[in-house]
Copies of this chain bind each other. A is one copy, B any other.
């Protein structure tokens, strides 16, 4: 509370100090021991974005996911996002090769595609990625149906992305779609947060951490 005639509160105002203290708290409280070093760096950033130190218990990833996604970004791969909030949050200047960030959800063809395919607009929008899928980094931070649709496209012969960050959130299909990604028979590199938690902020944090050169 401000005191007397002073309208100032007492809090940390230095961005670098805030980051340092945040990451120190996360490392003190979160159980990160089971994570490989490159994945640990990513999960710390995901915890930072959601405020929950118990997140690592729900994290599962293929051993190659961070390396595969990072290599793809360095090679210029696009980041394909299911939601505009995910696309909006990715820090452009961190991307190593001026990488394109794609979200097709607002494309005018999507409503018709969704009706024709009998699925959600979030899922139908992925059809517009088809010619960019090969070697891409996919970031699904909102819609379980998008993640299921991606697996169906790949199962039916679509090109394979370099890595899939599968972090849809919610109560219908979220847990199931992430389990399906973790169980995928295609050898896809993946990162998931099992259960209902996920979302655009966590997904953006994962992409930004992977894109960053610092470890």
A residues whose Cβ falls under 8 Å from a Cβ of B: 1-2, 7-9, 11-15, 18, 21-22, 25-26, 48-52, 84-85, 87-89, 118-121, 123, 144-145, 148, 151-152, 155-156, 169-174, 176-177, 180, 183, 185, 195-201, 204
Contact = CB atoms under 8 A, between A and B. Distances in A.
Q: How many copies make up the complex?
A: 2
Contact of A169 (B49, B121, B204): B49
A176 B18 CA distance: 14
A52 B12 contact: no
A199 B8 contact: no
8 contacts: A13-B145, A21-B171, A25-B172, A50-B199, A51-B174, A51-B196, A85-B88, A199-B199
A118 B16 CA distance: 12
